Amino acid sequence: MNRYAELIEAASAVTSRAAEAIMAIYARADHQVQNKDDDSPLTAADLASHRILVDGLSALDSDIPVLSEESDPEVHERRRQWSSLWLVDPLDGTREFVSRNGQFAICVALIVDGEALGGIVHRPVGNEIYLAARGAGAYSLIDGERTRLRVTTPAQQPPRVVVSRSHRNQATEDYLQRLGEHRGISAGSAIKFAKIAAGEADLYPRLGFGGYEWDVAAGQVLIEEAGGALLTLQGEVPRYNKPGDLKSGDFIAYGQAQQRWMDCLS
């Protein structure tokens, strides 16, 4: 087991503690929803998960700081000086959490010199853990059973396209029309990445709506280590902890590479 895999295994124990805290709040009648400056929702579960993840990940290696979506602004400024970091979304899919559909996840990625080298997508409902480290493969941990993840090759025909539950928009609809016959699979948050990695979907186009690096990095490693790819619309592998802002651009994620996935972009 390489160093990145060791860190990801240890980090999965931390995400498990965060998942327990999220589920305790999920069971309440009142989720204590606030609105952030960008009008996105924030709940007590986001904050509880944030605190557990920051404390737990920091304890794994004092030389690897933690940048969370819910970190203070000064932390977001300091991260520009970091060559290695944990990139964290304590609760990806807060709208799904509030609507109680179970389609939310914890995302944790290990970033070194701008490259995503390890990732965890942890779905608290069902306690489903999907984890990967560069050079060590991708796995799921469900009901105590560890399963190696592999994308579906060749892609099914018609392709199974996973799309967002909360962010269907015209750019995505136009892409699907150009793609032609397909089977749509609806999923929320970073669970969409897990479906590609587990061979349950073939293609995930994320087009025309905003997101951040912590939404993408863990899923990228998961898909790549399962045999697929996640690329920007320019055909490049994303980089992280960029000097500017932390917004992520549009991307295409898939299991089997097919030129038509990119050709349908325009």
pLDDT score at 144: 87
Are 218 and 141 members of one domain? Answer: no
Are 135 and 104 members of one domain? Answer: yes
CATH of the domain at 93: 3.30.540.10
CATH of the domain at 218: 3.40.190.80
Residue 171's identity, in one-letter code, is: A
Residue 155 included in any domain: no
What are the tokens at 262?
Answer: 């990119």
Are 106 and 127 members of one domain? Answer: yes
Which domain, by its residues, includes 215? Answer: 160-263
Percent of the chain surpassing pLDDT 70: 94
Are 30 and 85 members of one domain? Answer: yes
Per residue in 137-187, pLDDT (tens digit) is 999 999 989 999 999 999 999 999 998 866 678 999 999 999 999 999 989
pLDDT of residue 33 exceeding 70, the answer is no
Are 15 and 75 members of one domain? Answer: yes
Residue 154 included in any domain: no
Q: Which of 17-26, 93-102, 158-167 has the highest mean pLDDT?
A: 17-26
Q: How many CA atoms lie within 13 A of 84 on its CB side?
A: 12
Residue 191 included in any domain: yes
Concatenate the DSSP letters of all residues of the chain into one string: --HHHHHHHHHHHHHHHHHHHHHHHHTSS----EE-TTS-EE-HHHHHHHHHHHHHHHHH-TTS-EEETTS-HHHHHHGGG-SEEEEEEEEE-HHHHHHT-S--EEEEEEEETTEEEEEEEEETTTTEEEEEETTTEEEEEETTEEEE----SSPPSSPEEEEESS---HHHHHHHHHH-S-EEEEE-TTHHHHHHHTTS-SEEEE-SS-EEHHHHHHHHHHHHHTT-EEEETTS-----S-SS--EE--EEEESS--HHHHHTT-
Number of domains making up the chain: 2
Per residue in 203-254, pLDDT (tens digit) is 999 998 778 999 999 999 999 999 999 999 999 999 999 998 999 999 999 9
Per residue in 38-74, pLDDT (tens digit) is 546 678 899 999 999 999 999 999 999 999 999 999 9
Contact 254, 196 (CB under 8 A): yes
Are 98 and 193 members of one domain? Answer: no
pLDDT score at 38: 53
